[in-house]
A and B are shown apart, each in its own frame.
Chain A
Amino acid sequence: MSTAAAHDDHHHHAPKGLKRWLFSTNHKDIGTLYLWFSFAMFMVGGLLAMVIRTELLEPGMQFVDPEFFNQMTTVHGLAMVFGAVMPGFVGLANWMIPLMIGAPDMALPRMNNWSFWILPFAFLILLSSVFMSAFGAGHPSAPNFGWTFYAPLSTEYGPASTDLFILSVHMMGISSIMGAINVIVTVFNLRAPGMTLMKMPLFVWTWLITAFLLIAVMPVLAGAVTMMLTDRHFGTSFFNAAGGGDPVLFQHVFWFFGHPEVYIMILPAFGIVSAIIPTFARKPLFGYASMVYATASIALLSFVVWAHHMFTVGMPLAGTLFFMYMTMLISVPTGVTVFNWVATMWRGSMTFELPMKWAIAFVILFTCGGLSGLMLAITPVDFQYHDTYFVVAHFHYVLVTGAVFSMFAAAYYWLPKWSGVMPNKLLGELHFWSSLISVNLLFFPMHFVGLAGMPRRYADYALQFADYNFWISIGGFWFGLSQLLFLAVCILCALKKGEKAPARSWEGAEGLEWEVPSPAPFHTYDTPPVVK
């Protein structure tokens, strides 16, 4: 049985032109589509954040009115969560999982195509309301109730675009569910002979677990927005006290989705970092089995901690105590994963190419975010932190210096495989250092203003918060601009301008993806490799 797939080039030409992309059933092309889409949404979400930071540069309302400001915070959150982070990880899954397990493609290639193409339409619907709001529709146009869209603000006071927002969320949910199903079927059924579950790269494991989480909770989100829709238009009273309902029920249903959702947004990052650190430390991953168990425990525990987002709603003591203990507990497996990465580095033989820089930055800064999360878990103190910038600092550390940095790490790591050329070193280094410094200038002071008492989702603030907000905004502009460097890196790779990359693009890299040429041919592993 041959392992080389190079001769496949001869009789399977990649289709050309628009049709290639519109009708693709190829995991590499679909992965590419997801990744470019994710980066575009990252820029859009970033632009909205720039509007927020411009307004918050100084106390007072200088640029936008508070109503528009609320639309900015809402759509910024939605675009980043559903448009940048989730599709970005799906793109990485699409590109890398078949390669890593020695499969020719994803198990359900046509469903894969639909999973992607739903997304641009979903976001067209969502973003068009922002466009209309910015350019003249005046009255509240875009959704303005926070990405968490609590009832009754969203059900009874939401603008007309709320119903389109609901449609958009349904579409994104369907896309995610289909993507997750595809991952599970692929991992279960298409592994090369000899690749047992406990031999799979950790990235495949973390994505497998993430896919189960997605199937479990995206339908619950769909349920929540459907209940919202019927409350708004079909006379139901799920969340309406007048009709016998309960606004707090919304929060329970939403966060039952919402908490596993944030683990959906970080587990793939764990997998990425678990691939990169061993490569550049030239040492196997420490504690492979315990990483798998830790990731699975995090996923399971994620279902029983949701109400830590709701400590102030008036839950009885038994409830708050339960959720406090469960939330604290989840830090144990998370700590285990961090210690495993450090132990992988320990007594290794490290070099610090770009992927390793991003991965180490991830480990340090994600831990920072995790530690502030532990502080938030302590209920009586959470009463002082809840709905302040301390929470904003926490989740931006885990999502930006966590998830997003891991995606940059993945990009620098696998771009040679995707494009055939090494990413431009100068631009990459500039991108890294510029992002690293600016991201901390942007998010670290948020801990301070949050503790000092600045609430979140505030268009304006009291004078004592002015100094830090100024620097936070400067950090924000700088971080945003730094991403243009990454765009340049990607464009150069896409145009194949750079040092030619060998099949094993990094010296210590191991795994089936490094056995195929760079760039990976259109079809790979049509005949499965034998795994020992």
Chain B
Amino acid sequence: MSDNSLKQRNQRTLRKLLIWAVAMFGFAFAMVPFYDVICDITGLNGKTSTTASTEGPSQVVEDRTVTVEFITQRGEGVNGDFTAATRRVEVHPGEITLVNFFASNPKSSDIITQSIPSVSPGEAARYLHKTQCFCFDQQSLAAGERKEMPMIFYLDPELPRHINTLTLSYTIFDVTERVAATNN
């Protein structure tokens, strides 16, 4: 084959492979929303929805009682108290329940916090609906302030029968610097 047509073939193959390489780079980033979607649908990593549930429960399943436990964790750099008023509640799926959380800021400056929920077992996450949660927004705490933060939830009546206990954990992070950086 002539030199020229070989050169053309080489360039064509090169181009195709380069496009593929760039596409795979894009794929890496596409994995991020992809991962979020899979986790949303399956509740794989135990993340609950970040927005309030607007529809109420369709019914209350009286013949089932599920134990819901609450644990709290301070993320790095957070030094105040962060506790739940109740350790655990027994609820019927569909029953609306209010649980209070408390956070305090012992520092002499104001802070902005973000609480991140996590559910175990992970598959229970998509059956946990919150109509109000302090985790939907950043919560600011003035210097020395102690704040009560309510959370209202219900378990989906369709919660699989084999789940009898679920644990909802909140980790509170100090995002004051992050917020300041984005605002600047």
Contacts and interface: CB of A to CB of B under 8 A. Distances in A.
Q: Do A and B come together as binding partners?
A: yes
B92 to A, nearest CB: 25
Interface in B43-69: 44-47, 50
Nearest to A211: B17
A204 B178 CA distance: 51
Contacts, number: 101
A106 B83 CA distance: 66
B122 A316 contact: yes
A329 interface: no
Contact of A319 (B31, B44, B171, B175): B44
Contacts of A107: 10, 13-14
B173 interface: yes
A189 B75 contact: no
B29 A227 contact: yes
Nearest to B172: A242
A253 B116 contact: no
B contacts with A: majority SS: helix
A531 interface: no
Given A216-B24, A222-B25, A253-B31, A242 B10 contact: no
Interface in B16-36: 17-18, 20-25, 27-29, 31-32, 35
A217 B173 CA distance: 34
A204 B14 CA distance: 18
A223 interface: yes
B14 A219 contact: no
Contacts of A316: 42, 44, 121-123
Interface in A158-209: 177, 180-181, 184-185, 188-190
B21 A181 contact: yes
Contact of A215 (B24, B123, B175): B24
A269 interface: no
A181 B31 contact: no
A244 interface: yes
Given A181-B18, A241-B173, A220 B44 contact: no
A219 B27 contact: yes
A184 B13 contact: yes
Contacts of A215: 17, 20-21, 24
A242 B173 contact: yes
B181 A235 contact: yes
A220 B17 contact: no
A249 interface: yes
Contacts of A181: 14, 17-18, 21
B9 interface: yes
Interface residues of A, number: 38
B114 interface: yes
Contacts of A226: 28
B2 interface: no
B17 A185 contact: yes
A244 B50 contact: yes
Given A189-B13, A241-B173, A246 B21 contact: no
Contacts of A216: 20, 24
Contacts of A223: 25, 27-29, 31
A266 interface: no
A215 B19 CA distance: 10
A108 interface: yes
Nearest to B175: A242
B108 interface: no
Contact of B35 (A184, A244, A252, A314): A252
A390 interface: no
Contacts of B27: 219-220, 223
Nearest to A181: B17
A515 B14 CA distance: 30
Contacts of A375: none
9 smallest beta-carbon distances between A and B, as pairs: A223-B28, A242-B173, A219-B25, A219-B24, A220-B28, A181-B17, A185-B13, A107-B10, A189-B9
Interface of A: 107-108, 177, 180-181, 184-185, 188-190, 215-224, 226-227, 235, 238, 241-244, 246, 248-249, 252-253, 256, 314-316, 319
23 contacts: A185-B10, A185-B14, A189-B6, A190-B6, A215-B17, A215-B24, A217-B24, A219-B28, A221-B28, A223-B25, A224-B28, A241-B116, A242-B114, A242-B175, A243-B175, A246-B35, A249-B35, A252-B35, A256-B31, A314-B45, A314-B46, A315-B44, A316-B122
Given A185-B10, A223-B31, A242-B116, 14 more contacts: A107-B14, A108-B14, A185-B17, A219-B23, A222-B28, A235-B178, A241-B75, A244-B50, A246-B35, A249-B31, A252-B31, A314-B46, A315-B44, A319-B44
